[in-house]
Chain A
């Protein structure tokens, strides 16, 4: 498997523009996670899905952020409108349904999208 795939790898945009980040999880994985990484706040969980259904979006910072998972192989994270403080690296991760004693419960991360909002 190619692992978790994210696109674009780098995105530079101007304040007020809409930004869409994309993620393809590992085939067969039931859980998908979106994280944000900044120097100040470290790694933050924004939202996660189970079987394409959003389970917990309490980490989404504002209504400007939205995420969807229309099918098992694709998810998007959208920021509209974007602001300079949204500049960060955004990671997508996926893992299998936990097996007995969580033996398969390991998250695999994509390479990330580095977002710069000017």
Chain B
């Protein structure tokens, strides 16, 4: 069975500071990894994904994530946080053999203070 852990319910960061939202995963075979963001009263919005290739993936709004196979992690990062980045962030994983559905983490609330 595949699973995702987001160890922090909430991350607080000041505007202009770097941010990291943590994610670790468990899956059979090689993973496909995703980050989604959810703003209040909205659906989940795709940010970025890792399928293969370069371990550093760049996505929307200046976000990036680094795939680390040995640590089974896929942490989301941004060099300089904005107040408008405040939202709920979900990490998701699926295996790459056959078709499998996405398994989502419980989400991490990011709060960026002015």
B90 within 8 Å of A by Cβ? Answer: yes
Cα(A109)–Cα(B94), bound, Å? 17
Look across to chain A and name the residue whose beta carbon is closest to the beta carbon of B52.
A101
Cα(A85)–Cα(B70), bound, Å? 41
Q: Nearest-CB distance from A12 to chain B (Å)?
A: 15
Question: Which residues of B12-44 are within 8 A (CB) of A?
Answer: 32, 34, 36, 41-44
Look across to chain B and name the residue whose beta carbon is closest to the beta carbon of A3.
B43
Look across to chain B and name the residue whose beta carbon is closest to the beta carbon of A45.
B101
Look across to chain B and name the residue whose beta carbon is closest to the beta carbon of A44.
B104
A102 within 8 Å of B by Cβ? Answer: yes
Look across to chain A and name the residue whose beta carbon is closest to the beta carbon of B42.
A111
Interface string of A34-56 (1 = CB under 8 A from B): 00000000110100101000001
B46 near A102 (CB under 8 angstroms)? no
- Whether A101 contacts B43 in the complex (CB less than 8 A), given A42-B104, A45-B101, comes out as no
- Whether A91 contacts B43 in the complex (CB less than 8 A), given A42-B107, A102-B32, A105-B32, comes out as yes
Question: Which residues of A94-118 are within 8 A (CB) of B?
Answer: 98, 101-103, 105-112, 114
B101 near A33 (CB under 8 angstroms)? yes
B101 near A43 (CB under 8 angstroms)? no
Count A interface residues, CB 8 Å: 23
B102 within 8 Å of A by Cβ? Answer: yes
A21 within 8 Å of B by Cβ? Answer: no
B58 within 8 Å of A by Cβ? Answer: no
Cross-chain contact of B101 among A42, A48, A101 (Cβ < 8 A): A48
Cα(A43)–Cα(B52), bound, Å? 26
List chain B residues, Cβ under 8 A from A43. Answer: 44, 90, 104, 107
List chain B residues, Cβ under 8 A from A101. Answer: 51-52, 96
10 additional contacts, CB 8 Å, given A101-B52, A107-B46?
A43-B90, A43-B104, A43-B107, A91-B43, A93-B43, A101-B96, A102-B51, A106-B46, A108-B46, A111-B42
Which A residues contact B (CB, under 8 angstroms)? 4, 33, 42-43, 45, 48, 50, 56, 91, 93, 98, 101-103, 105-112, 114
Question: Can you sample 25 A-B contacts with CB below 8 Å?
Answer: A33-B101, A42-B104, A42-B107, A43-B44, A43-B90, A45-B101, A45-B102, A56-B101, A91-B43, A93-B43, A98-B99, A101-B51, A101-B52, A101-B96, A102-B32, A102-B51, A102-B96, A103-B51, A105-B32, A105-B51, A106-B34, A107-B46, A109-B45, A111-B43, A112-B42
